[in-house]
Amino acid sequence: MSFITENLKNITENIKKHSNSVNRNYNDILLIAVSKTFPVEYIKELYEFGIKNFGENKAQELRKKAEELKDYDIKWHFIGRIQTNKIKYIVPISEYIHSVFREKEIVEIDKIAKKHSKIQKILIEINVSGEETKGGIEPNELNELLKQAEKYENVKVVGLMTMAPYTNDENEIKKVFLGLKELRDKYVKDYPDLRELSMGMSNDYLIAIESGSTMLRIGSLIFGKRNYNIGG
Ligand SMILES: *Cc1c(COP(=O)(O)O)cnc(C)c1O
């Protein structure tokens, strides 16, 4: 067994234990293995171990890997910054697009999804922490964007996504995650499809679990340190 499978076993065990200890059902939490910059051999290894959900953040890399792995029943998650001109590559491959926050992206996703006769599941990225370097809309802009998104038949908004602030302060991180949950709980009444909370990465996935996360995006804790000069 290689280090990747070993890491995965540990993380899976931690997710089970922690969800149990905070009275959450382990089955309500999807682990997305963020494979960006790592070779397809790593993905194949996890796939053999039962992991089917993988996350990528670059359209080019996603295309290349999806082509190489076309015989595998993988659900791809696009989690990166969206370039509108790359949406035509992202939509045919992705089960979920996590990082949508502009209406023009929704317009283009709808157009491409129509061409491929699919309903594209998307999440709206929210900049809960308010850090300027982060993508996403402000929480008070969500209402308007959800209203706009309803007009597009081939797009389905299934949840919200956020990134933790750059800090080691667990209380700060938790505040941000709970802020996302509060938004979801508020809007799910009018938008019943809005169920998913995509939050939690290698350093904060336990805090995310106790804050209600339904989708964990974990990379380096599974695959090791990323080297952006290769593969990506
Ligand atoms: C890279 C990335 C992750 C995974 O980060 P790790 O710290 O390696 O777990 C999660 N979400 C997004 C949006 C990313 O770009």
Residue labelled with tokens 């910059």: 37
Residue 43 resides in a domain: yes
- Distance from the alpha carbon of residue 97 to the mean position of ligand 1, in angstroms: 14
One-letter amino acid of 103: E
**How confident is the model at residue 232, as a pLDDT?**
44
Contact 219, 202 (CB under 8 A): yes
Residue 121 resides in a domain: yes
**How confident is the model at residue 229, as a pLDDT?**
63
**How confident is the model at residue 226, as a pLDDT?**
87
Residue 48 resides in a domain: yes
To the nearest whole number, what is the mean pLDDT of the chain? 96
One-letter amino acid of 84: T
Locate the DSSP E strands across 46-141: 53-56, 75-78, 94-100, 120-125
The verdict on the CB of residue 32 being under 6 Å from ligand 1 is no
pTM: 0.97
Which atom of ligand 1 sits closest to the CA of residue 221?
A: 9
Above 90 in pLDDT, residue 231? no
Residue 28 resides in a domain: yes
Tokens of 45: 């290894």
What gap in Å lies between CA 215 and CA 71, rounded to an integer? 25
Neighbours of 90 (CB within 10 A): 24
Tokens of 96: 């979920």
- Distance from the alpha carbon of residue 220 to the mean position of ligand 1, in angstroms: 8
What CATH number does the domain containing 147 carry?
Answer: 3.20.20.10
One-letter amino acid of 226: R
The verdict on the CB of residue 8 being under 6 Å from ligand 1 is no
Residue 158 resides in a domain: yes
Tell me the mean pLDDT in the region 5-34. Answer: 98
**How confident is the model at residue 123, as a pLDDT?**
98
What gap in Å lies between CA 128 and CA 173, rounded to an integer? 10
**How confident is the model at residue 230, as a pLDDT?**
53
Tokens of 7: 């890491």
Residue 229 resides in a domain: no
The model's confidence at residue 20, banded by pLDDT at 50, 70 and 90, is very high
Residue 175 resides in a domain: yes
Q: pLDDT, tens digit, for every residue of 130-184?
A: 999 999 999 999 999 999 999 999 999 999 999 999 999 999 999 999 999 999 9
Q: pLDDT, tens digit, for every residue of 106-139?
A: 999 999 999 999 999 999 999 999 999 999 999 9
Which atom of ligand 1 sits closest to the CA of residue 220?
A: 8
What gap in Å lies between CA 79 and CA 100, rounded to an integer? 9
Domain count, the chain: 1
Q: pLDDT, tens digit, for every residue of 65-79?
A: 999 999 999 999 999
The verdict on the CB of residue 218 being under 6 Å from ligand 1 is yes
Tokens of 25: 């059902």
Which atom of ligand 1 sits closest to the CA of residue 36?
A: 1
The pick from 98, 99, 177, 217 for probing ligand 1's pocket by mutation, whose C-beta has the most ligand atoms within 8 angstroms, reads 217
Residue 31 resides in a domain: yes
Q: What separation in angstroms does the CA of 186 have from each of 90, 195, 230?
A: 30, 11, 43
The pick from 34, 162, 215 for probing ligand 1's pocket by mutation, whose C-beta has the most ligand atoms within 8 angstroms, reads 34
Q: Which of 25, 46, 50 shows the shortest CA–CA distance to 214?
A: 25
- Distance from the alpha carbon of residue 104 to the mean position of ligand 1, in angstroms: 25
| Domain, as residue range, for 24 | 3-223
